[in-house]
Structure 1
């Protein structure tokens, strides 16, 4: 109906990318139909629900990081102009998506506001083409559950526990170098490595609709990840109008890597 060509990435991943190509009018028509479909789903989910306030329609665009500066504008002037003229909420992620040179741009609002916002974003992107090569974001397939037992890591596949040697090494390294040693205690030595492993912090953003899977019931999952990885993990409070939450991981490189792996595996 839109005249656009639409491709949806494979369904084995928790996230799927919808690629829309064609003339600009066809692209805008396709976005409009997608936004209206999302609104229909929201209305249907509110039937017989105790929720009184209707949530906005939310789309996440994937934009080359080299174009995000033009989209934000000097001192945030361009993104402010887009917000004010369309009535949509627009947020550009601070970090690039995993293993890519692209960033997520989250748009929230009514279907009309979203389509006007997409039009303005397309104009900016046409005026400011990407610089250099773009490494596209490829969502990861859903990972098998992971357990740690007897110092070993295993992935669960059906009825079997499959040893995971690389993750076992990372887990052992993370436990050898806890980032925060209690006062008066020393960190045990690890052959070939400096016992005073420096700590650092890494930030990532998690969509609001996935944060519950990471926190778990009464914080059970996030506490499990903290214990397994040895990292400190802080989840920022939800902010009004934002579709994502900021997560800060602090620890040694091994602590951070293991914590990221476990979070992505959720």
Structure 2
């Protein structure tokens, strides 16, 4: 089961399958059917609610009260209210709202791009983990943005993304920061994490015209299967919109 509706599954299916399988393995390793999971920046519960439906306890820390309200409503509709805790905060206030070494897994999806200090944010996240705890890290990929801007005909912007320290194509770029795979690996290592796997996310989904996916019979399912097939192949990581790292605290 994907954590979102079919059209959105093009963007989330690869990550969800990695997260689901990792939680299953960790639960078996610990002989612990219920894990404590922290979803930082989890917003409306796109991943938190499906994780709770697996039977795990999920704490969502997000700065938006509106998003947390929507999360609580979504959890209620899914029948998992007792397993989902909504906390207003961010990575800077995390030490104040989550006890150290108290969770089994952390979801950090789309967070490092927007925080002031990615290294500090990741340090705060890993401090909440038990030894051996999992981190699911999803972040915007710089080289994928170069390809996307070039294919859109914005060649100067593509070159800017390639050279800019923050991986942005200009002041109008809505993404505050992008990373290379090497930068993400370095951040993970500095936080004491060992990377177990890397997947490219949205390798083709953001490049294929939406009208084709929405109107061509069977196109969406075929594209989804293609995304899943290439996600773990390093040759495709450079062109993915996002990179997903699964890591563990040593």
TM-score (norm. length: structure 1) = 0.24
Give 1 or 2 for the bigger CA radius of gyration: 1
Bigger relative CO (Cα 8 Å, ≥ 6 apart):
2
